[in-house]
Amino acid sequence: MRLAALRKKNWLILHDVDSLCDVPGTHQMDPDLFTSDYWRERGLIVGEAPGRGNSLFLQATPKEQWALRAYRRGGMVAKISEKRYLWAGAERTRAFRELRLTSALFEQGLPVPRPVASCVTRYGFCYEAAIITVRIEGAQALAERLIKDSVNETLLQQVGLMIKRFHQVGLDHVDLNARNILVDSSDTPWLIDFDRCRLRAPGKWKANNLDRLARSLEKLKVGSAIHSIKTGYTN
């Protein structure tokens, strides 16, 4: 995967050269590409996922769909500014950091969406941002599968094994929950949403990740699932 950056006026785009380019007939590298209006005007929005920022699913090409997610704040700070963040340089923006991390994980063969591009638009001391990744075909959130009672012991153990693989390379997923774990049509689990995540040396954060996942399962009234997940994790 070859990442390249393009800068014009007050915006910057970091993109996978093989996914996004300026060749005529393709989606052009422009900030509009990272807005819902661009895709809605072309009738290319095919769905959306719940959550802060509401990821949109896009029919980017006849054979490939993308997921577009704008960065949104949560909690009390969102009342001050829902979508603007303090500028501290392009490489320190959440969008650039997430795209580079996702690319690094993808290059290691881990089950993550293929990154396409991220865009940062600067407004003085602040910026807004969005990220695009390839949509995982036929995938559902683990949360949905659990609510529908369409999981089994084998799948839950596979989820635990997947988490272990990420921990082995040092990924601290700060928002590990049942909605950030996807399961595709062949029951293969995937991990998504690496905003604010990072690679770290081994430590207590691994247990904290699993505890956070356990709390999300409890909120869904399926707290017992964590036992099977941990079995897969420790095997």
Separation between Cα atoms, residue 119 and residue 53, nearest integer Å: 15
Specify burial of residue 204 (Cβ count, 10 A radius: 0-12, 13-18, 19+).
Answer: exposed
Cα of 127 vs its chain's centroid, Å: 19
Contacts of residue 83, defined as CB under 8 A and 6 or more positions apart, other chains included, come to 70, 71, 72, 73, 128
**Around 192, how many Cα atoms within 13 Å sit in the side-chain half-sphere?**
28
Measured distance CA(71)–CA(54) in Å, rounded: 10
Question: Is residue 143 a contact partner of residue 164, using CB atoms and an 8 Å limit?
Answer: no
Contacts of 197 (CB under 8 A, 6+ apart): 98, 101, 171, 172, 173, 174, 175
Residue 7: CB partners within 8 Å, gap ≥ 6? Answer: 13
For residue 175, indicate whether it is catalytic.
yes
pLDDT at 54: 72
Please provide residue 176's backbone torsions phi and psi, each rounded to the nearest 5 degrees: -75, 105
Closest CA to 95 of 126, 117, 75, 125: 117
Q: How far is residue 205's CA from residue 167's CA, in Å, rounded to a whole number?
A: 9
- What is d(CA 206, CA 186) in angstroms, rounded to the nearest whole number? 27
- What does pTM read for this prediction? 0.93
Per annotation, catalytic residue among 149, 175, 187, 193: 175
Print pLDDT tens along the chain (235 aa).
899 999 988 999 999 988 876 555 567 778 999 999 999 999 999 998 865 457 999 999 899 999 999 999 865 554 566 789 999 999 999 999 999 999 999 999 999 999 999 999 999 999 999 999 999 999 999 999 999 999 999 999 999 999 999 999 999 999 999 999 999 999 999 999 999 999 999 999 999 999 999 999 999 999 999 999 999 999 8
pLDDT of the residue at 146: 96
Distance CA 93, CA 121 (A): 10
Contact predicate 179/216, CB 8 Å? yes
Determine the Cα–Cα distance for residues 74 and 86; give it in Å rounded to an integer: 15
Q: How many residues does the chain have?
A: 235
Q: What local confidence, expressed as pLDDT, does residue 75 receive?
A: 56
